[in-house]
Amino acid sequence: MNDIQRNLSTDEQLTLLKRGVVDLVSEPDLKERLTRGTPLRVKLGADPTRPDLHLGHAVILRKMRQFQDLGHKVIMLIGDFTATIGDPTGKSKTRPPLTLEEARANAESYLQQCRLVLRQESEVLEVRYNSEWLEKMGYKDIIQLASRYTVARIMERDDFRKRFEGGVPISVHELLYPLTQGYDSVALEADVELGGTDQLFNNLVGRALQRDYGQEPQIVMTLPLLVGLDGTEKMSKSLDNYIGITDAPHLMFAALMKVPDALMPNYFTLLTDLPEGEVQALLAGHPAAAHEALARTVVSWLHPDADLDSALERYRAVAKGGIPENIPSVTVPAGEVNADGQVSVARLVALAGLEPSNGAARKLIQNRGLRLNGEVYGDPQGLWTLGADGVVLQKGKDKFMRAVLEG
């Protein structure tokens, strides 16, 4: 906890924690617990269905970090067991379940990336896996858990109701998912549970179950889903509208400089701690200055040692169609070169790591997504003679690699 946060009054803490929050059930409960002066147990449950995180995930991780900085313990609950069920939250069909092994492998990558945001001291961080208690439950335990909630209340969940009304099948195991997630809060004796707005129903089930088990019901806080760079959908890797939490500083900086103007208030609120007055002044000024402030703030948070001035210069150079300085290089083995001193351009792309295979590289070239030394290159079967300075390959607007011949 830093000195500023250590001296915050209860009302000031509440204001900080409410920033960006959509649902808070309930504010009086949270305020009352903050006045007790004892650390709260703040839970975030995550089914590790994918191993990579983006800034959309970072919104909730930032809220966890705020709790940590106020002296509370956050619990990263890895839903390795619930990932084997498949939660259809917000979907029209069941999400494919994982094996425990797949879930735990994804969790390792997930936790490594979470550490970019969260503090690691044991006093403020606890990592748990819900297989610890769920795997031990027998059939009798499951029946007893199911007896604590009614079908009518489960069917209040929006996606279940829509599927039922639309004649889309709902398996019984899906109805158990909210109860299973809710029981996690009982097992952990959580004081607060965080989640996206799509998790409100499940988190409220946890609150109800805690009360039924004789515990003080948890406070539920939800945060909005960060809109992706396309401005139309939530940030998602599958939609290719995301900024990865582990992206290189210059790539992250460039992407944030391109956030649509209409989304800037949302990004400032959810990804920065800048005071509201400062944000409003930035938004009222020149758009480029606001974008630069956003990029500098977010990149310096995730990459404290990044050279932000160089990132800005690189962005400006690329925006003007230029090739930035100090781009990485790859050495092309002599064995890749034919008798005429030429090498397949598709092979160069694959060697540079811009595509995973020669076939994918040829598709990139065919779709005119590759530039060589700044010029669009369109022959998927083409060959290139590497000179003394090699050749600069460019994929998209800001992915560069220089290929140089071995020796």
| CATH superfamily of the domain spanning 3-223 | HUPs (3.40.50.620)
pLDDT band at 91 (very low <50, low <70, confident <90, very high): very low
Whether the per-residue pLDDT at 252 is higher than 80: the answer is yes
CB 142 within 8 A of CB 173: no
Highest mean pLDDT among 38-52, 170-184, 269-283: 269-283
Residue in the block written with tokens 């990459």: 303
Domain over 249-319 is classified CATH 1.10.240.10: yes
β-strand pairing of 192-196 with 41-46: parallel
Q: How far is CA 21 from CA 16, 51, 221, 260, 402, in A?
A: 10, 26, 7, 22, 45
In the block, tokens 């936790």 appear at 111
Domain ranges of the chain: 3-223, 249-319, 329-405
Tens digit of pLDDT for each residue in 286-308?
999 999 999 999 999 999 999 99
Instruction: Report, at the CATH architecture level, how domain 329-405 is classified.
Output: Roll (3.10)
Residues 93-111: tens digit of each pLDDT: 445 667 777 777 777 878 8
CATH topology of 3-223 equal to that of 249-319? no
* Cβ atoms < 10 Å from Cβ of 378: 12
Is 234 annotated to bind a ligand? Reply is no
